[in-house]
């Protein structure tokens, strides 16, 4: 669960040739395609809280595949420089996207739940039930 894998969207890298100039030194958790995420271990479950301000619930998807849970969000609006009243001088918030994957190999994937409220996506991931190995003594013959 602690193995976090960030997804990098390199579609627009041609527009920013200096994006990886410092070898990704500043691009991990605070990159434009990332979000702030807290992960808590509560014994029998993990709680993941991800900040996704500006997104609607319909913009967010959570996919589970091959032991990974991928949270992604995308929204876009028409990118015109004016609104109905013609008041915009410049508009930069017309598109936003984010994607991040989490290793859920020790999680009961069938019972994961998620709720989005006030710009925060909260996911509850119950851990798989592990049984302690039985200890027994063999008779030496």
Tokens of 78: 């028409």
pLDDT tens-digit readout, 6-32: 444 444 444 454 444 444 434 444 444
Among 110, 100, 108, CA closest to 129: 108
* Angstrom distance (rounded) from CA 100 to CA 34: 7
Q: Is 43 among the domain residues? A: yes
Q: Is 65 among the domain residues? A: yes
- The residue ranking higher by pLDDT, 98 or 4, is 98
Among 21, 29, 23, CA closest to 51: 29
Q: Which phi and psi angles does 109 have, rounded to 5°?
A: -60, -25
Q: Is 138 among the domain residues? A: no
Number of domains in the chain: 1
Q: Is 87 among the domain residues? A: no
**Residue 39 near residue 52, CB atoms below 8 Å:** no
Q: Is 24 among the domain residues? A: no
Q: Is 19 among the domain residues? A: no
Sheet containing strand 60-65, edge to edge, reads 4-6, 95-103, 68-76, 60-65
Q: Is 62 among the domain residues? A: yes
- The residue ranking higher by pLDDT, 120 or 34, is 120
pLDDT tens-digit readout, 69-89: 999 999 876 655 555 666 777
| CATH code assigned at 72 | 2.60.40.790
| Alpha carbon of residue 19 to chain centroid | 21
- List, in order, residues 6 or more apart from 139 with CB less than 8 Å away: none
- The residue ranking higher by pLDDT, 86 or 49, is 49
Pairing of strands 95-103, 113-117: unpaired
Question: In terms of residue numbers, what domain contains 68?
Answer: 37-78+95-126
């Amino acid at each position: 669960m602690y193995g976090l894998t960030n997804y990098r969207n390199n579609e627009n890298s041609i527009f920013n040739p200096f994006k990886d100039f410092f070898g990704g030194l500043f691009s991990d958790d605070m990159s434009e395609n990332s979000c702030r995420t807290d992960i808590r271990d509560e014994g029998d479950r993990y709680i993941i809280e991800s900040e996704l301000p500006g997104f609607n619930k319909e913009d967010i998807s959570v996919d589970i595949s091959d032991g990974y849970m991928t949270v992604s969000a995308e929204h876009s609006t028409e990118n015109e420089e004016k609104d109905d009243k013609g008041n915009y001088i410049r508009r930069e918030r017309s598109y936003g996207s984010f994607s991040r994957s989490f290793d859920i190999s020790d999680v009961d994937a069938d019972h994961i739940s998620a709720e989005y409220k006030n710009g925060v996506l909260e996911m509850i991931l119950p851990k798989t039930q592990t049984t302690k190995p039985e200890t027994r003594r063999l008779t030496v013959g």
